[in-house]
Homo-oligomer: A and B are copies of this chain.
Amino acid sequence: MDNFIFQNPVKVIFGRNQVASISAEIPKNSKVMLTCGGGSIRKNGVYDQVINALDSKPIEFWGIEPNPVFETLMKAVEIARAEKIDFLLAVGGGSVADGTKLISATIPFDGDPWEIVTRKVKPTKAVPFGCVLTLPATGSEMNCGSVITRRETKEKLSFQNPLVFPRFSVLDPTFTYSLPTKQVTNGIIDAFVHVTEQYLTFPAQAQIQDRFSEGILCALIEEGPKTLNNPTDYDSRANLMWAATMALNGLIGCGVPQDWATHMIGHELTAFFGLDHAQTLAVILPSLLWVQRDSKRHKLIQYARRVWNINDGSEAEMIEKAIAKTRTFFESLGLPTRLTALGATEDISDLIVSRFQTRNMLPMGDSKNLSADKIREILMQAQ
């Protein structure tokens, strides 16, 4: 196990009717701005519950997109500065939370805010914020990371800063009852791949982290289909929500190698083709595991055994079966695992490789063996 530092101060307020308690979590006399997405929270009653729970009427900013767009967020910053906002309340999914993190760090920031996203500068102040989560997927509700898209340059980049941990996050599973199926399956895949990026690496003799990762994967595999079959099954919704949070709150990544290559390649596919984040992950992960099956051999066998209960055959066969099971699971949720099925047939591998080269990201992966050639191979396999 590698050395690590772990600290996660987020107060998770989990369960039915918990949103009623948020006013106690927001400093008295704060000037609050809600930050929201496209409006689904008006239809499912979440917006009304939030407004009722607050001491006074907040300023509202609507329109944060899936894959939150820098240009949009800067409009929110302008309003927040003009209104002297001192507390933000993100009501929505991971994109709203991610976007709110950049708003929070930019309000008191003097320089070019894109440099926060490109990590050229580290902000030293941020406006505090809370989160009311409506879509389990990204884990943003309990971490300090944020992924931002710049429309102008078709870039999708991430930054992390402890200042942008939410002060609290309300996770009410009933808020997810009305989600469209596609968003539920996207969330399951996103959480699933967050785990594999921290687990399917080279071995690090980190038993707790491995067992926890396997536990989250098993929960997603069991609870995902249950939720799709019965959208108002409270326990299943609750398990998915908590699984997605635990998948990316820092815990399972403590002291272990990580490999975020699936996300890195996926971000480029989203930026170019406008695919959903989870669509790109479902396409890239099985191909990447196949191309990287030698350096990830030990953990793939452990994954085969402990997650998919595959105990027969040679090691090579076990690995092949485990990757096939992963692909079948994604497809069973309704997510294609081939780019052609998504209509993304243009070959952009050179473009992706050259971007990674420009950003000095190659070779990538836990074993630093994911070269330009291998990325081309993964994208070819993913066709």
Q: Which residues of A contact B (CB under 8 A)?
A: 1-18, 205-208, 210-212, 214-216, 218-219, 222-223, 234-235, 238-239, 242-243, 246, 254-255
Contacts and interface: CB of A to CB of B under 8 A. Distances in A.
A212 B7 CA distance: 19
Contact of A212 (B4, B15, B215, B235): B215
A242 B12 contact: no
A223 B210 CA distance: 14
A243 B209 CA distance: 10
A4 B9 contact: no
Contact of A6 (B1, B12, B210, B238): B12
Given A214-B211, A215-B211, A5 B14 contact: yes
Contacts of A218: 207, 211
Count this chain's copies in the assembly: 2
Contact of A223 (B7, B207, B219): B207
Contacts of A212: 211-212, 215
A306 to B, nearest CB: 10
A242 B1 contact: yes
B208 A243 contact: yes
A274 to B, nearest CB: 33
A242 B3 CA distance: 12
Given A7-B9, A211-B212, 14 more contacts: A1-B239, A3-B16, A3-B18, A4-B12, A4-B14, A6-B11, A6-B12, A7-B10, A14-B254, A205-B235, A205-B239, A206-B242, A207-B218, A207-B243
Contacts of A17: 3
A14 B3 contact: yes
A19 to B, nearest CB: 12
Contact of A246 (B5, B208, B219): B208
B16 A5 contact: no
A215 B216 contact: no
A2 B16 CA distance: 9
Nearest to A211: B215
Contact of A215 (B8, B14, B208): B208
Contacts of A13: 5
Nearest to A6: B12
A209 to B, nearest CB: 8
Contact of A219 (B207, B216, B255): B207
A237 to B, nearest CB: 9
A177 B4 CA distance: 19
- Report, nearest first, the 9 A-B pairs whose CB atoms are least far apart: A211-B215, A3-B15, A205-B235, A7-B11, A207-B219, A1-B238, A207-B239, A9-B9, A6-B12
Contact of A7 (B5, B12, B205): B12
